[in-house]
Structure 1
Amino acid sequence: MTAPENDDAVDAFAEVVFDRLIGGIEILSIYLGDRLGLYRALAGSPATAAELASRAGIHERYAREWLEQQAVAGFLTVDPTRDATQRQFVLPAAHERVLADPSSLVYSAPLARMVAAAASRLPDLLTAYRTGGGVGWALFGDDARDAQGDQNRPWFDSALAGALASVPAVHDALSRDGARIADVGCGHGWSTIALAQAYPSASVDGFDLDAPALESARLHAEGLERVSFHHLAGERVADGREAAYDAAFVFEALHDMPDPVGVLTALHRAVKPDGVVVIMDEAVAEQFTAPGDPIERVMYGYSLFVCLPDSMSTAGSVATGTVMRRSTLARYAREAGFRDAVALPIEGFAAFRFYLLER
């Protein structure tokens, strides 16, 4: 017998779904504010609808609707008693750090871009789910590419050096005179640049298969002579570079790669026997548990819409997905010739965990 329609559990779950609807709509409203420059136009300077339209170059009617929606959502503040044309909307300083300050560790506007990128490929995702195919990273476009780069940049800029310096074995390898470092899956290059800036006697090679991201990386690194970028798959890093590197890193990319064992095997060959190989990936739980915590929930979300379809767009992919648990990484590491993958004592680095691959 089915429960009656007014059952408390039914009503409670219907409310949960409605709350998720609101969240989805509001994250897309953040996308508009981010991509149209509306938050930046409001940063430190309240505006009426007409003033915002003028500053950002958008239509005044849309400006008024967006401003009112943002105030109703609690993202902006406003005096609702004033005449509609005279209302000045304010982006509070705390909200500015989250929505309009790309140097802030809590900068979150890029998250909306990743959601929008995934939503733009829903027809392709439906086909992939039915056929077992995939949706390659390039198809998600600049929204996804820029979102990943911009989201991670403040952490690499301000926290990576300290995090690595806190682990003596890693710091010592990076501090060698004339050290060579490989950064595999470098994307926009912010991790590559951060490594070069933190260790001024080292040279750093960034590797990636996303040509547009590498173009951006080269622009970002302009003037840094010790940084080079290469359009090359991780599986080929050791080609002509046997035992060339003192250290190698894969920052939030191994779970996307169709052949992680091949990549780690290449790093095992490319890094000197006394060097270090460090993997930074998502700080997911040790084992599957349901329901999960917010980190598990968001990582499975990324996996459904971006990471798993991207990986499966390559024939023969092992299809790891975003939720790569330590046991999975350790298995890949052992298959590649390492002894184990050991979590490093680096905490509070966004939603990431660092692993040292032991020889």
Structure 2
Amino acid sequence: MREPDMQKVDALVGRLIGDVGAAVSGALVVLGDDLGLFKAMADGKPRNSSDVSKETGIKERYIREWLSALAAADYLSYDEKTDRFHLTPEQAMVFAEEDSPAFFAGAFQVVQALWMDEPKVADAFRTGKGVGWHEHSTCLFRGTERFFRTGYNNNLVADWIPALQGVEARLKAGAKVADVGCGHGASTILMAQAYPASKFFGFDYHAPSIERAKAAAKEAGVSDRVTFQQAPAAGFPEGSYDLIAMFDCLHDMGDPVGAGKHVKESLSADGTWLIVEPFAHDCLKDNLNPVGRVYYGASTMICTPASLSQEVGLALGAQAGETKLRKVALDAGFKHFRRATETPFNMVFEVRA
């Protein structure tokens, strides 16, 4: 074995210090989100730890350390002249504004679940049995909804649906839509708000998520046109749907081809299957970048174990790429498969018989 290059070791250690700092800061983001500390500072007004303590009821000594840590991470801003902290408009958008186009607190809840559930995944590595979505810590479910909702808010109605041939017009006129793997219902509710003439049906095998989705629909005032029901992807009620959507979930399924066959049976004659998946190139080397780093990591801890816990266990992974996704659709009996649009984080496919 050759001797290590110490300059390269030093460079790697330097990167690792940054990574450890990011992991620690992530826990502090979740903490501040849970305690409402970011929202308390959202107006950008400079505050010291005593000010924040008085406004939130949280003990001052804890807040002093939290503020200092996040200032060191550059997640908060610090003015040494006044010894006060504040959120810049950009920091507020990322950490305090739930419906902003850049809200990121939910992503750290997902990362929290990775750490909490590592022993389960380690056991799955040894046995090959997998870890079902329902077996994860509850912070994963809420974090996933909050993280992906940002992308849906930015793109679903503005770009993704208009990119599908003829779909937006049908939704405006009144269509029947199934959202399969709907989770907490963020995508379903957003579509229902945008297209009040249509009827929406959200399906997910995870009962607690369906209950949360029902409550969210009521809060959003769309319960009159949204129905949520517990059902698997290959067994949701058939109904001649004009649009069947799967957002960031096809790769999690054990038998995505079987789910696709059920979609084909459940669509109207000229209906559309909308597939939104994490952005990925077909070749590994092209995914070795910051986005791929996040997606491969999540796939290792969540997506692949979820698929392997189910029948067939195809385990596409969160970086499946267009070629593998196309094969799933064609094997399910579809003939039309088109990449309709994309973002740096998602690929959007239009699938028809």
TMscore range, shorter length: over 0.9
1:273 Cα deviation (Å)? 1.9
Q: Say whether the 8 Å CA contact 1:285–1:296 is kept in structure 2.
A: no
Q: Which of 228, 251, 259 is matched with 2:255 structurally?
A: 259
Pair 261,315 (structure 1): closer, same or farther in 2 beyond 3 Å: closer
Residue 358 (structure 1) aligns with: 352
For 1:113-262, what aligned pairs fall within 5 Å after superposition? 113-163=109-159, 164-175=161-172, 177-222=173-218, 223-224=221-222, 225-237=224-236, 239-241=237-239, 244-262=240-258
Measured after TM superposition, the shift of residue 291 of structure 1 is: 6.8
Superposition TM-score, scaled by structure 2 size: 0.92
1:355 deviation in Å?
Answer: 0.4
Contact 2:177–2:199 (CA<8 Å) still a contact in 1?
yes
2:108 matched residue in structure 1: 112
What's the secondary structure of 1:354's corresponding residue?
strand
**Residue 22 of structure 1: how far off its partner (Å):** 1.6
**How high is the sequence identity, in percent, across the aligned residues?**
32
CA shift at 1:18, angstroms? 2.3
Q: Match for residue 287 of structure 1? A: 283
**Partner amino acid, structure 1, of 2:266:** A
Q: CA contact under 8 A between 2:121 and 2:301: conserved in structure 1?
A: yes
- Whether 1:53 and 2:53 are equivalent positions in the alignment is yes
- Give the match for residue 92 of structure 1: 88
Question: How many Å separate the matches in 2 of 1:357 and 1:168?
Answer: 10
Q: Which moved more, 1:118-127 or 1:146-155?
A: 146-155
Q: What SS class does the counterpart of residue 128 from structure 1 fall into?
A: helix
Provide structure 1 residue ranges, at least 5 long, that are not aligned to the other structure.
Answer: none
Match of 2:33 in 1: 34
Give the TM-score normalised by structure 1.
Answer: 0.91
Greater shift, 205-214 or 45-54, is seen at 45-54
Distance 1:302 1:240, change over 3 A: closer
Whether the aligned pair in 2 keeps the contact of 1:326 and 1:341 (CA below 8 Å) is no
Q: Secondary structure at the match of 1:187?
A: coil
Whole-angstrom distance in 2 between the partners of 1:338 and 1:270: 13
Amino acid at match of 2:76: L
Q: Does residue 71 of structure 1 match 2:71?
A: yes
Q: Deviations over 1:53-91 (max 9, x none)?
A: 333333222111111111122222223355xxxx32111
Runs of 4+ in structure 1 over 4 Å off = none
Q: SS of the counterpart of 1:236?
A: coil
Q: Is the 8 A contact 1:181 1:246 kept in 2?
A: yes
More deviation, 21-30/266-275: 21-30
Shift of 1:252: 0.8
**Aligned partner of residue 107 in structure 1, secondary structure:** coil
Q: Measure, in 2, the Cα distance between the counterparts of 1:291 and 1:156.
A: 23
2: CA distance, partners of 1:271 / 1:127: 39
Contact 1:173/1:276 (8 A) holds in 2: no
Relative to 1, partners in 2 of residues 1:203 and 1:146: Cα closer, same or farther, differing over 3 Å? same
Larger CA deviation: 274-283 vs 317-326: 317-326
Number of residue pairs matched? 348
Output the CA distance in 2 between the equivalents of 1:67 and 1:102: 20
Cα-to-partner distance string for 1:169-223 (whole Å, 9 max, x where unaligned): 3324434x44211110111112111222222221111101122221121122123
The question of 1:322 aligning with 2:332 is answered no
Cα pair distance change 1:165/1:277, threshold 3 Å: same
Contact 2:192 2:225 in 1 (8 A): yes
Following the alignment from structure 2 to structure 1, what is the Cα–Cα distance between the partners of residues 305 and 59?
37
1:353 partner amino acid: M
The equivalent residue for 2:12 is: 13
For the residues of structure 1 that align with 2:95 and 2:38, how far apart are their CA atoms? 7
* Contact kept in structure 2, 1:173 and 1:275, CA below 8 Å: no
Shift of 1:284: 0.8
CA contact (8 A) 2:337 2:351 kept: yes
Q: Secondary structure at the match of 2:297?
A: helix
What SS does the corresponding residue of 1:89 show, helix, strand or coil? strand
Over residues 209-240 of structure 1, what are the superposed CA-to-partner deviations in whole Å (9 max), with x where a residue is unaligned? 12222112112212321111110011012x45
Stretches of structure 2 lacking an aligned partner (at least 5 in a row):
none
Compute the displacement of 1:157 (Å): 3.5
